[in-house]
């Protein structure tokens, strides 16, 4: 079921913990977000698990997937559908040993070599397409890597990095059929309407 939902997913929303986290997630889901990831690096484990359980319940109530960033152990504890790891985080094979066969594993990729080497994962993210403060110091990969992924990725991929209402059509034209966003929804005055615009811009 999780992999079937992933195959159908088009809009992936990433956010950290803040005062309005659950309200924003609810709005994003109402607007069509299919996957929500909690990316929280500076909060105590217990708080992450408690928040993760609330967000997982919220997502599951809307038929969406919930993913935790970086921590396979906490992903299991908060009943997430999967974990997302970066190139410098726990190896995919080790993450799989923790989360088991049924949960999803996503991996960040930033180059052709990383994309081609992504094995044992259920999906990858490709980016940052454009420079973004949420990935400070990470150079933009541009639309070229999106096009390369469209031709060569062996797992479903989500283009990420600086994508918003003004440029999502460029990402789709480059070959992306799935996108992931942070600020476009998180910082929007009306996150539900922005999510709806972004979701409708991506072909089903």
For residue 150, which of 171, 129, 172, 176 has the smallest C-alpha distance? 176
* Residues annotated as catalytic (active site), given as ranges: 39, 108, 135
User: Alpha helix (H) ranges present in 9-134?
Assistant: 21-31, 45-61, 72-77, 92-99, 112-116
Residue carrying structure tokens 């079921």 = 1
What CA–CA distances, in Å, run from 154 to 89, 123, 157?
Answer: 21, 9, 9
CA–CA gap between residue 122 and residue 127 (Å, rounded): 17
Q: Are 196 and 31 in contact (CB under 8 A)?
A: yes
Q: What is the pLDDT along the chain (204 residues), one digit of tens a residue?
A: 999 999 999 999 999 998 799 999 999 999 999 999 999 988 999 999 999 999 999 999 999 999 999 999 999 999 999 999 999 999 999 999 999 999 999 999 999 999 999 999 999 999 999 988 877 778 999 999 999 999 999 999 999 999 999 999 999 999 999 999 999 999 999 999 999 999 999 998
CA–CA gap between residue 144 and residue 178 (Å, rounded): 16
For domain 2-201, the CATH architecture is Alpha-Beta Barrel (3.20)
Q: What letter does residue 109 receive in the DSSP assignment?
A: E
Query: DSSP string spanning 8-25?
Result: H--EEEEE---TTHHHHH
Neighbouring CB atoms inside 10 A of 28's CB total: 30
């Amino acid at each position: 079921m999780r992999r079937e939902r992933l195959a159908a997913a088009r809009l992936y929303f990433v956010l950290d913990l803040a005062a309005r986290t659950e309200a924003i997630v609810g709005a994003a889901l109402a607007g069509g977000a299919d996957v929500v990831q909690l990316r929280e690096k500076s909060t105590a484990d217990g708080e992450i698990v408690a928040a993760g359980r609330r967000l997982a319940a919220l997502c599951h109530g809307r038929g969406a997937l919930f993913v935790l960033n970086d921590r396979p152990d906490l992903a299991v504890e908060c009943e997430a559908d999967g974990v997302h790891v970066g190139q410098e985080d726990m190896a995919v094979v080790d993450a799989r040993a923790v989360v088991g066969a049924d949960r999803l594993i996503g991996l960040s990729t930033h180059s052709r070599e990383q994309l081609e080497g992504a094995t044992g994962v259920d999906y990858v993210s490709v980016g940052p397409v454009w420079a973004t403060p949420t990935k400070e110091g990470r150079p933009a990969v541009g639309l070229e890597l999106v096009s390369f992924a469209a031709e060569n990725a062996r797992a479903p991929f989500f283009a990420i990095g600086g994508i918003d209402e003004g440029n999502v059509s460029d990402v789709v034209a480059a070959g992306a059929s799935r996108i992931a966003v942070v600020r476009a929804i998180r910082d929007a005055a009306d996150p539900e309407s922005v999510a709806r615009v972004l979701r409708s811009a991506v072909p089903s």
